[in-house]
Structure 1
Amino acid sequence: MPPLLELINVTKHFKVTSGLLGLQSGLVRAVDGVSLHVNKGETLGLVGESGCGKSTLAKCIMGLTPVTSGEVLFANKALATWEEKALRSKIQMIFQDPYSSLNPRQRIGSIIREGLDIHTIGTKEDRQEKVNGLLQLVGLMPEHGQRYPHEFSGGQRQRVAVARTLALDPQLIVCDEPVSALDVSVQAQVLGLLKDLQTQFGLTYVFISHDLSVVSHISDQVAVMYLGRIMEIGPSKALFDSPKHPYTQALLSAVLLPDPTKQSHRIPLSGDLPSPMDPPTGCPFHPRCPHAFDKCKNGRPELVAGESGTNVACWLHNA
């Protein structure tokens, strides 16, 4: 069975213009040759530093921004060949900030029902009945549909966002840091809700987050992204138990351990994230890598199978 979602060498470059004539002065390589796949019913966790291209990749998956090159396949069909409305009903997104992702001038019921109205699914009564059912499904009450977003807490608003996402019975949901703006206790509730919904409806998630503990908890696969490229990808347990890429090792070493009697060996990284307008030659991580050697500066490594079960793009494992 083919994967539900497959990315084949996807790139997204943005032109930088300057001057009165708007002449091109540079190119931002936000996504620079990403290939991955997600099977139906699985969760792919996508992690990396701010500015590495995670959200841009999410927009490419959603079709919100056209790719520069490469191909995004959904259910073994190129997204460019899909009729717009049909696509929108199959792929949905949960945004990071529940305060800005909901229209403050609309009632909650109207926000959830909007997709059903656009697609003219069922009668008006059928749509209202589905809205009531979705509110109950995410832990709210049908009468909450008459309230406005400002009358809810952050966790409740994100539950509303989840209900809106489910309205069109999607197969794939892109979660762009859906719990980062919430308190820790509320994060656990929303994550539990997402996992329960995945089990109940067979949903597939692409889950973007900076919190590696959250990613470890919810993901079947994890992809580590750096400067628009995938550095390491593989099963969650294998990647967290035995990371191979120096960047993955450095990220995991920064995770706080819940047991105060245990201490992790922090791997410091020198320098800042390079500009995607002027990426380094060779391996994009080599200016900050403690193990870099001459080959890292000249040749860009491709993803190859590592000993732990993950695929890693590193000359230390791809000699």
Structure 2
Amino acid sequence: MPPLLELINVTKHFKVTSGLLGLQSGTVRAVDGVSLQVEQGETLGLVGESGCGKSTLAKCIMGLEKVTGGEVIFDNKTLAGWDQKKLRRSMQMIFQDPYSSLNPRQKIGSIIREGLDIHNIGSKEERREKVNYLLQLVGLRSEHGNRYPHEFSGGQRQRVAVARTLALDPKLIVCDEPVSALDVSVQAQVLGMLKDLQTQLRLTYVFISHDLSVVSHISNKVAVMYLGRIMEIGPSKVLFKDPKHPYTQALMSALLLPDPTRQPERIALTGDLPSPMNPPTGCPFHPRCPQAFEKCRNGRPELMALDTGVQVACWLHTPSEL
């Protein structure tokens, strides 16, 4: 059975212009050759530092940004082959800020019903019943449909955003840091709700976050992104237990564990994230890598499968260096 979502060498470059004539002065390589697969019913967690290209990749998956190169294949069809209106019924997105993503002039019921109205799904009464059902599904009451977004807390607003996303019965939901703007206690509630909905409705998630504890809690598979490229990808339990790439190891070392006696030794990275306008030659991580050697500076490693089921782009794990 083919994967629900497949990315094949996806790139997204932005032109940088300057001067009165708007001449191109450079190129931002926001996404630089990403390939991955997401199976039906699983959750792919996408992690990395701010500015590594996670949100841009999410927009490429959704078709909100046209890719510079490569292909995005959804449900066995390239995005270009989809009718965009039909695509929106099968693929939805939850945004980071639950307040700015909701129209403050619309009542909650109208916000959730809008997709049903646009696609002309059901009668007026059936749409009203669907809205009430969705409100109850995300832990709200039917009467909440008559209120405005500003009357709700952040957690409740994000529940409304989830209800709106579910209105068209999508197969894939891209979650772009959906809990990062919420309090920790509310985060746990929303994450629990998302997991329950996934089981109940057979949903597939691409879950973007910079919080490793959140990603480990909700994801079946994790992809670690750095400077527009995938550094390591594999099953969540395997990757969190034994990370192979030095960048993944540095990220994991900052993760706080419940048992203070089991805290890993912190790996401090030197330097800042390089500019995507002028990425380093060779491995993009080598200027900050504590284990870099000459080959890292000259050649760019590709993802290589290991026996554990993890793929890693690192010269330390190529056959010639083992």
**Matches of 2:103 and 2:259 in 1, distance apart?**
42
| CA deviation after TM superposition for structure 1 residue 43, in Å | 0.3
Query: Structure 2: which 5+ residue stretches go unaligned?
Result: none
What secondary structure is seen at the aligned counterpart in 2 of 1:174?
A: strand
1:308: Cα distance to partner?
Answer: 2.9
Deviations 1:220-277 (A, max 9, x none): 1000000000000000011001100000000000111222333320001010000000
Structure 2 SS opposite 1:164: helix
2:16, 2:177 → 1: CA distance?
27
Q: Distance in 1 between matches of 2:242 and 2:195?
A: 25
Alpha-carbon contact 1:96-1:177 (below 8 Å) kept = yes
Distance, in Å, in 1 between the alignment partners of 2:176 and 2:82 is: 23
Matched letter for residue 275 of structure 1? S
The alignment's TM-score, normalised by the length of structure 1, stands at 0.99
Letter in 1 for 2:59: K
Equivalent residue runs for 1:280-319 within 5 Å:
280-318=280-318, 319=320
1:79 has 2:79 as partner = yes
Aligned length: 319
Q: 5+ unaligned residues in a row in structure 1: which ranges?
A: none
Residues in 2 aligned to 1:259 and 1:35: alpha-carbon distance in whole angstroms: 36
Decide which moves more: 160-169 or 96-105.
Answer: 96-105
Q: What's the counterpart of residue 66 of structure 1?
A: 66
Task: Output the amino acid matched with 2:56.
Answer: T
In structure 2, the residue matched to 1:165 is 165
Counterparts of 1:1-319 in structure 2 under 5 Å? 1-318=1-318, 319=320
Q: % of aligned pairs identical?
A: 83
- The one-letter code matched in structure 2 to 1:51 is G
Give 1:183 shift. 0.8
Cα deviation digits, residues 181-219 of structure 1 (max 9, x gap):
111111111001000100011100000011111111110
Contact 1:92 1:174 in 2 (8 A): yes
* Structure 2 Cα separation of the partners of residues 16 and 261 of structure 1: 49
Task: Supply the distance in 2 between the matched residues of 1:311 and 1:272 (Cα, whole angstroms).
Answer: 25
Q: Alpha-carbon deviation of 1:16?
A: 0.2
What secondary structure, in the 3-state scheme, does the structure 2 residue paired with 1:44 have? strand
After alignment, is 183-192 or 252-261 more displaced? Answer: 252-261
The 8 Å contact of residues 40 and 203 in structure 1, kept in 2 or not, is answered as yes
1:107-162 per-residue CA deviation (whole Å, 9 max, x = no partner) reads 00000000000001011111111001000000001110000000000000000000
Cα deviation, residue 307, structure 1 = 3.8
Q: Aligned equivalents of 1:112 and 1:242: distance in 2?
A: 42
Contact 1:239–1:308 (CA under 8 A) maintained in structure 2: no
- 1:247 is paired with a residue whose SS is helix
- 1:62 Cα deviation after fit: 0.4
Deviation at residue 48 of structure 1 after TM alignment: 0.2
How far apart in 2 are the matches of 1:261 and 1:105? 51
Q: Post-superposition shift, 1:172?
A: 0.1
Distance 1:204 1:64 in 2: 19
Once residues 61 and 309 of structure 2 are traced to their aligned partners in structure 1, the CA distance between those partners, rounded to angstroms, is 26
Aligned mates of 2:124, 2:8 — CA distance in 1: 41
The farther-off stretch of 262-271 and 81-90 is 262-271
| 1:78-99: CA deviation from partner (whole Å, max 9, x where unpaired) | 0111001000010000001111
Task: Give 4+ residue runs of structure 1 displaced > 6 Å after superposition.
Answer: none
What is the identity, as a one-letter code, of the residue corresponding to 1:262?
A: R
Determine helix, strand or coil for the equivalent of 1:217: helix
